[in-house]
Structure 1
């Protein structure tokens, strides 16, 4: 006679626990899942299965399971601390910052004192735009353990956001001394010092991380809150000489697809093929949902442009993209192969103060974005066989309630 399902579930559960102690989380997850089929709804099984899936980075599967297993109104039980910690981690990975904040508060109520959960709590506050509270929370996390380079980096970012650049620089140096991401931290330090030539390109993984985090709120924040219209203006200001018929269009740094959507909606412009390029998977997911692109490429722009296309393009767009690239020599040079003769490159840049010259070329600002001098853009065009057809200076958006000066630039391949 076979064992009762409840007994079978207990045996599988115990085997799963032994495997977690041995570090075999994959097999443990399978046994916990089998046990839950035999004993559905048992909280201990659900919690341990959820914890295993968090360890395996299967956050989307873990989060609803853990949430169902944990009662936020139940009396405090220290035995559930590991499950609450795992739930918070899953919610943080899924960008569910308010729920993650609540779960972490439950952890603290159960006696959690670790520095990493405190740093995660600070991260949630930061993502919820509660900057002053985030600073305090990061300070507490680092008081508990000063050997957290990511927490030093994030604290530096919070200081930078409120203009405390000396404090930000100190934090970045602390992060660097503790083994933080050297490429990114040197870039941050160069931005604090306004040294565009120390770092001539933004680290791609920084841009990817930035926009993966930003994707969910991108359109709402950029367009509605900051009043950004660069994606529309870039297309609407195309000079008459460009015509209205483009067989092939490429959208560099397409993001969530704002440019592509406006291009499709502009009835006066006709095109057959529209392709987009971006290095953020989360942004491309948003662009794909718009259903306006024929092809989307998940790749860094420089890597993408390094391989010539099978067919050149009639129009290449780059709205609010070159501010993250820095030096533009490689982009300009690539246009000899990516644009057909007579094809157009249209892009936006932020522009530096009047003191910047063509020789200086660009500024790396404390915003972590580059500004490009118009003289620098003209010199590059002459060097790479591109004719400047039009440059129009305008305010691109508002940031920290300050107008961001920029320009719409239109070049034609000779």
Structure 2
């Protein structure tokens, strides 16, 4: 029986550095070296010169980021020749790159049926399955690529990613070791081997991998953070670059993974707490969703807010949030600095599943207190710690004890109005215990 990755580890896999490809797709499977070396022999000729010219134009537009004109040209080609593999592949890749994974899947499956031995198609199909959390199908695709290109370390690395996200850690480790046989300094494989080793109970091997990564790349924020997590060091916060990168890569499958896989409903639980403490007749003139992600909390609170601002480090997440059409303003930035630059006070601040990346909260609460009007509210979720201080857990997330939240809130002049004990998510079949806090800035300060 395999055990699934924790969400932070799954995110870490998605956030590892990937090698660039010629079309803008996040995060791509590595292009196989056989395809890079033999592309002219690997690709079948198009049926007519006219279609060939149109396809060349479409690919050029695609590579320059002009996705809608490229899409229209691919569709025009496929109307003329529905079995043209190159157009099927590229249109599927375009949809996958836009986060439309099911559309991409249909096209890439058809391309794979017509060209079952083309490694690039199988790799892209596997990546589509991986984005849809269908890891068994992804593994099958990547195994076929490995059989076609057994000496290509990139193929083994892609297979390792699928095994790792499926929770098959021993199989993943074998794949990454095969990659490292070809290149001892492959930082992507080293980082993922560290995750696999840690989940197999070998934290010493994991730490050795992270240290090897940091020796080659001292600024690697993923390795910094996860090394601290497995060695018991509690840092003040996860590096901003780490959070930004992992959520940029995670954006396409974020909602499905949280809601369907982890049974995540914190935004709705926080909305219920707000409704129970703040009369329904009260509307919030200005609210900010801190670490808004794709907008799950914004959806939950929108009908009680006149003007809603979303703030996030990840541009990928902000694009998903914009697609919802619920925010009046979206800001890419770190929450403390962004709140500090606010010129108009807020009536409500929300932060769901955000403080798990922040250990020390003094700066956060101080910024919140300053940016709230008197009588304004701050609602947020945390994971629950049994210690008396914040702790960086081995899974890479911070947990906070109630006593610390109370004292830090008081130090910033915020009153704790409500604490609700909740289950944050279901992970590895176990409930992750957490808390919802509702704080308020007093309406007036009493003279001493």
Residue 187 (1) aligns with residue 225 (2)? yes
* Preserved contact between residue 308 and residue 337 of structure 1 (Cα < 8 Å): no
Match of 2:372 in 1: 339
- Contact kept, 8 Å, 2:111 with 2:121, in 1: the verdict is no
Aligned residue among 147, 154, 162 for 1:124: 162
Alignment coverage as a number of residue pairs:
373
Q: Which residue of the partner structure matches residue 273 of structure 1? A: 307
Q: Shift in Å at residue 287 of structure 1?
A: 3.0
* 1:116 aligned counterpart, secondary structure: helix
Aligned match of 1:238: 274
TM-score (norm 1): 0.73
Q: 1:369 to 1:242 in 2, by over 3 A?
A: same
Residue aligning to 1:402: 430
- 1:204 maps to 2:237: no
Post-superposition offset of 1:144? 3.1
The Cα of 1:172 is off from its aligned counterpart by 1.5
Partner Cα separation in structure 1 for residue 186 and residue 246 of structure 2: 20
Paired residue for 1:289? 323
Q: 2:383 maps to which residue?
A: 350
Q: Which moved more, 1:200-209 or 1:120-129?
A: 120-129
- CA drift of 1:73 comes to 5.3
8 Å contact from structure 2 (residues 123, 145) kept in 1: no
Aligned residue in 2 for 1:298: 332
Q: Quick check: 1:122–1:134 contact (8 Å CA) kept in 2?
A: yes
Distance 1:297-1:111 versus aligned 2 partners, 3 A rule: same
In 1, the alpha carbon distance for the partners of 2:312 and 2:156 equals 33
Distance 1:163 1:405, change over 3 A: farther
Cα displacement (A) at 1:216: 3.9
After superposition, give the CA deviation of every residue in 1:168-216 in whole Å (9 maximum; x if it has no partner): 22322232234375333121111112221xx211122322333344334
Q: Does 1:154 align with 2:192?
A: yes
2:307 is equivalent to residue 258 of structure 1: no
The residue matched to 2:350 in structure 1 has which SS?
strand
Structure 2: how far apart are the matches of 1:169 and 1:264? 44
For 1:272 and 1:71, locate their aligned partners in 2 and report how far apart those are by CA, in whole Å: 51
Q: Larger C-alpha radius of gyration, 1 or 2?
A: 1
CA contact (8 A) 1:248 1:315 kept: yes
The equivalent residue for 1:173 is 211
| Residue 144 in structure 1 maps to residue 182 in structure 2 | yes
Where relative contact order (Cα < 8 A, 6+ residues apart) is larger, the structure is: 2
SS in 2 for 1:293: coil
Q: 360, 379, 397: which one pairs with 2:407?
A: 379
Give a deviation string over 1:132-189, Cα, whole Å, max 9, x none: 4322222222233222111111121223345443332232223223437533312111
Match for residue 393 of structure 1? Answer: 421
Residues 113 and 58 of structure 1, relative CA distance in 2, 3 Å threshold: farther
C-alpha separation in 1, matches of 2:260 and 2:98: 33
Q: For residues 129 and 216 of structure 1, do their structure 2 counterparts lie closer, same or farther at Cα, with a shift above 3 Å needed? A: farther
Stretches of structure 1 that go unaligned for 5 or more consecutive residues are 1-5, 13-24, 27-32
TM-score (norm 2): 0.68
Find the residue that maps to 1:238 and give its secondary structure.
Answer: helix
CA contact (8 A) 1:97 1:124 kept: no
1:29-87 deviation digits (Å, cap 9, x = unpaired): xxxx9xxx9xx97x99959x96xx99xx9999x9999887776556x6xxx66x55885
Distance (whole Å) between structure 2 residues aligned to residue 405 and residue 102 of structure 1: 36
* SS state at 1:208 partner: helix
Contact 1:97-1:127 within 8 A present in 2 as well: no
Report the counterpart of residue 215 of structure 1 in structure 2.
251
Q: Which moved more, 1:389-398 or 1:325-334?
A: 389-398
Q: CA deviation at 1:95?
A: 7.3
Give the secondary structure class of the aligned counterpart of 2:331. Answer: strand
Structure 1 residues 240 and 179: alpha-carbon distance in aligned structure 2, compared to 1, 3 A threshold = closer
| 8 Å contact kept, 2:108–2:125 | no
